[in-house]
Amino acid sequence: MPASPSPLPQSAIVARLRAAGCVFAEDEARLLLAAARTPAGLAAMVDQRAAGQPLEHVLGWAEFCGLRMAVDPGVFVPRRRTEFLVRQAAALARQSADPADPADPVGPGGQAPGRARLVVVDLCCGSGAVGAALAATLGQVELHAVDIDPAAVRCARRNVAAAGGQVYEGDLCAPLPAALRGRVDILVANAPYVPTEEVGMLPPEARLHEPRVALDGGADGLDILRRVTAAAPRWLAPGGHLLFETSERQAPQAVAAVTRSGLIPHVASSGRLNATVVAGARPLPRAGQAASPPFASRPGRPAAQSSPSGSDS
């Protein structure tokens, strides 16, 4: 049985965290107390948090889409707003499973009976949280994830193991198996989109403790996303969808990049989560007919709704 970390009382932890600028000091103190196995371990965790390390790095996990995701020190911490990206991708995946009637129920694996498993690719996967959450939401999917950072790859492999996912180290689509070309139903990319000159204005938790490669999106923040959109049509199945997170300010340029790639763009946003998702559908092969994502918005225009049901919850 772990030793009790009681020698450092909760009130003292709260006071220490509050003095260090932690807004949710009481909640964080409870989490640290629950995670610590010894008094010495608790003291070390409090010191790390008070010194500015992200809480998720101190704990070794982050809550994301109701799941506990492993997050190692130096790995990008999944943001709560990115849960909106997962919800939008899940809605489109269900539509891909049964395009004739998206309202019809699908099987436990997110696909209609008799259909092959949906193929999901998670680019710039970081901890693998987006792909793992999609797999947990949809059930049996064929999941592939990629990141250029070796530490992220090691972390992601633990998070996607339950889904049987494969994680590759490399630059965007380069390490993906060639057999996936033209087969991907959902391609999600939580790529960096902070403009280079704004990285220095990020909170210290991100700026000092997360890899620059996971934050810096180039001069206007869209360098990586342009490369993703240019590559996506070669990997998407007909009717498949690319989705990525960006800012509301960057959405028009992102939509233009999606359009140039030959995909049909749609934008969805959540005011509650301060999240913007741009999606692009690869047209179906029949002339004049394209996949219609369940975003209640006109192509290239931000949606007032935050999800297909009109709710961002």
In whole angstroms, give the CA distance from residue 244 to residue 89. Answer: 9
Q: What CATH number should be reported for the domain holding residue 265?
A: 3.40.50.150
Q: What is the DSSP letter of 224?
A: H
Element (H, E) at 146: strand 141-147
135 and 248 share a domain?
yes
For residue 160, the surrounding DSSP H or E stretch is helix 150-160
Regarding whether 198 and 84 lie in a shared domain, the answer is yes
Residue type at position 133: A
Q: Is pLDDT above 90 for 111?
A: no
Compute how many other C-beta atoms are within 10 angstroms of the C-beta atom of residue 201: 9
Q: pTM for this structure? A: 0.84
Are 180 and 249 contained in the same domain? Answer: yes
Instruction: Give yes or no: residues 207 and 258 share one domain.
Output: yes
- Answer yes or no: is pLDDT of 49 > 60: yes
Instruction: Please check whether residue 65 is in contact with residue 133, taking contact to mean a CB–CB distance below 8 angstroms.
Output: yes
What is the span of the domain harbouring residue 26? 10-51
Question: Other C-beta atoms within 10 Å of 3: how many?
Answer: 13
The helix/strand/coil state of 27 is helix
Contacts of 24 (CB under 8 A, 6+ apart): none
Q: Is the separation of the CB atoms in 310 and 271 below 8 Å?
A: no
Q: Which two tokens stand for residue 186?
A: 């959902």
Do 28 and 142 share a domain, yes or no? no
The model's pLDDT over 245-290, given as tens digits with 9 standing for 90+, comes to 999 999 999 999 999 999 999 999 999 999 999 999 999 986 554 4
Token duo for residue 269:
């946003």
In the structure encoding, which two tokens stand for residue 192, read together? 């960096």
Give yes or no: residues 106 and 181 share one domain: yes
Number of domains in the chain: 2
Query: Is 63 a member of any domain?
Result: no
Q: What is the tens place of the pLDDT at every residue in 299-313?
A: 343 333 333 333 343
* Res. 291 pLDDT band, cuts 50 70 90: very low
Compare 111 and 309 and report the one with higher pLDDT.
111
**Selection from 16, 54, 13, 52 nearest residue 36 by Cα:** 13
pLDDT in tens, 157-195: 999 999 999 999 999 999 999 999 999 999 999 999 999
Counting beta carbons within 10 angstroms of the beta carbon of residue 162, is it exposed (0 to 12), middle (13 to 18) or buried (19 or more)? exposed
User: Bigger pLDDT: 277 or 106?
Assistant: 277
CA angle 247, 182, 307 (to 5 degrees): 35
- Does 101 map to a domain? yes
Task: Give me the mean pLDDT over the 196-208 stretch.
Answer: 96
| pLDDT value at 33 more than 80 | yes
Does one domain contain both 209 and 110?
yes
